[in-house]
Amino acid sequence: MVPLSYYLVLSAILFSLGVAGFIFKRNLVTLFMSVELMLNAVNLSFVALSYYFRQLDGQIFVFFVMVVAAAEAAVGLAIIISVFRNRQTLNVDEISRLKL
Amino acid sequence: MTALDLAAILPIAILTITAIICMMMGTVRRETAASLCSTISLTGLAAASAAVIYQRSYSGLAFVDTLSVDPFARYFQLLFLVVAALVGLASREYLWREGMAIGEYYALMLFATAGMCLMAAANDLMVIFIGLEISSLSSYILVGMRRNDAASSESALKYFLLGSFATAFFLYGVALLFGVSGSTKLTAIRAFLYGGQNAIPASAALGKNPVLETVAMQSQFGFTGSMDLLLGAAIALIFVGLAFKISAVPFQAWTPDVYQGAPAPVAAMLSTAPKAAAFAAFIRIFMVSLGASAAQWSHLLWATALLTMTVGNLAALWQSNLKRLLAYSSIAHAGYMLVAFTSCSTDGITAILFYLAGYAFMNIGAFIVVTHVAGPGERLTELDDYAGLGFRSPALAALLTIFMLSLIGIPLTAGFFGKFYIFRAALDSGLLWLTIFGVLNSAIAAYYYLQILVAMYMKQPIDSAAPVADMPAGARTVVTVCAAATLLIGIQPSAVLRMAEYAAQWLPQL
């Protein structure tokens, strides 16, 4: 039997990987995948906790998160396409017409 | 479904249905859609407001404790509906001028409003998350709606990436809080954190599984320290997620880029309604469920408030683009509201609610004037484009002056009483230094607002400057309403203040 803490630690590691990917990667699609990784790390926490508490709430939240992630993918990819049409690049460093 | 459930969901349902009707209008001829969509959405918003007012005779928790019917939610919902109505009316001619998709614009605006209403009324972290995502996803699209404009799609991209990044943090915080308390219901978390009673009793929940029971014993009794750690991490993550949404420093980097690239009426909405919705969620989560750990997060809030005001104001000093300047000013105003939040008192919350209402009117007014002066394609948004506006278009300049004076906080405008109540609440709670920094900050802020007035009234217009066209009817109505409301709240604040007080009193005391 795998203890709960293992799941939570794995989820924390996956979440941190997502954050690191978001900060260090330069390709838009990779950034987007990093965010998805973060959301799925959270899902793992929800499922593990839900199993531990022996209640279904956490499992249901995962469905909600998955639906939201799907909606986010639809909107996000559409925005990425519209940026690509205007700029012909997917590198975040080159997409900086607005000054910081 | 009980009558209470129906009352709780009615405004949101009306908004959603209206949004779907508007979306279908996108398929009919553009001329027909243009005239119909704004009428339909305004009717929907009016009906939703009526539904919110009808809610008054109900109170309690609806839908298995996930939605709360209370004055606090109603205050925010009315605010969102008014903001949506003002922005919707003002953008009617703008959409036509810029050749944007009209049905989709109104549909997304109404969806965003529905999401925000859901956030304000939620009593469950998961419902707050869903509301946040409904409003955020709609706003991402709204920001990028000028598809062929590189700046617009770039700002949509920045908003989307950083917004979803922040949402992931918020969600992780929710998961950890669920792990600590065994529930995502705000009231259940409150009961747990105050009473130390897990929503799911460990023995009953785990049944007869000996291995799991050992795990439970360890984490529930063996390592109480690790539970505190988990709670601390949950609070920090939720704080980060929401700080992004209210664009508090150090999570403000997206704001200027997004406001500059977004269509100006959309920026008007983004700077008011979603920010207010994030504040509603912020106040509700921290006051209702995390009140027991106020000692942990009030320091965090203190530092964030100070940084947000100062960075927002100092950065605004260097801006020459009006949309960017207003973006930094909106960061600074979020800082003032955080000062009131730091006081954690009913007076402080009242001050935030009052400020949000006054700020909505003055900021939308300012943005709509900027929209109009910018002209087709939104080219004229630099400070130099305002040179001599006071002579070229006296009425427009006078209106912008009212909004700027109110943003500074000059007496007889809404901004004055907003700041007055905020700093009074902060002083009453013994936040002397924060109040001093806040007042100093308001003085710094006066510089860049006055800069605009100087440009309008004391500089000669550039010879090549085209005369400003007459304002279209919709935008004119909105600007007049905003100016009247700004002055009215500034002269007679008691009506709005009473509503804000009534809403704030509903929240539990710390």
Report residue A18 as tokens: 């997502």
d(Cα B392, Cα A50) in Å, to the nearest integer? Answer: 65
Report residue B78 as tokens: 């009315």
Is there a domain that residue A72 lies in? yes
What's the pTM value of the predicted model, to 2 decimals? 0.93
CA distance to A2, B201, B231, B242, B251, per residue, from A16 (Å): 22, 31, 18, 19, 18
Q: Averaged in consecutive runs of 10 residues, what is the pLDDT profile of chain A (100 residues)?
A: 89 97 93 96 95 90 95 95 90 74
A62 touches chain B (CB under 8 A): no
Is there a domain that residue A54 lies in? yes
Beta bridge partners of B69: B60
Please answer yes or no on whether B126 and A86 come within 8 Å at the CB atom: no
Look at chain A and report how many structural domains it folds into. Answer: 1
d(Cα B284, Cα B209) in Å, to the nearest integer? Answer: 37
Q: Give B130's contacts in chain A (Cβ within 8 Å).
A: 64, 68
Please answer yes or no on whether A52 and B164 come within 8 Å at the CB atom: no
Nearest neighbour of B215 by CB, restricted to A3, A11, A61: A3
Is there a domain that residue A100 lies in? no
Position B208 scores a pLDDT of 39
d(Cα B41, Cα A98) in Å, to the nearest integer? Answer: 32
Contact (Cβ atoms closer than 8 angstroms) between residue B448 and residue B316: yes
CA distance to A71, B326, B455, per residue, from B448 (Å): 40, 10, 11
Report the run of H or E that residue B69 belongs to, with start and end: strand B67-69
The Cα of B141 is separated from the nearest Cα of chain A by a number of Å equal to 7
What is the interface pTM, i.e. ipTM, of the complex? 0.96
Compute φ and ψ for B62, nearest 5 degrees. Answer: -115, 165
Selected residue of A2, A29, A83 to mutate for chain B interface (largest B Cβ count, 10 A):
A83
Is there a domain that residue A58 lies in? yes
Report the run of H or E that residue A81 belongs to, with start and end: helix A57-87
Is there a domain that residue A86 lies in? yes
DSSP SS3 for A27: strand
Give me the residues of chain B with pLDDT under 50, please: 201-223
What stretches of A25-56 show up as alpha helix (H) in DSSP?
Answer: 28-53
Is there a domain that residue A38 lies in? yes
Please answer yes or no on whether A79 and B153 come within 8 Å at the CB atom: yes
Position B392 scores a pLDDT of 86
Instruction: Tell the residue number behind the tokens 């953008």, with chain if given.
Output: B91
The Cα of A9 is separated from the nearest Cα of chain B by a number of Å equal to 12
Contact (Cβ atoms closer than 8 angstroms) between residue B308 and residue B323: no
* Domain at A33, CATH number: 1.10.287.3510
Range of the domain at A19: 4-95
d(Cα B389, Cα B79) in Å, to the nearest integer? Answer: 31
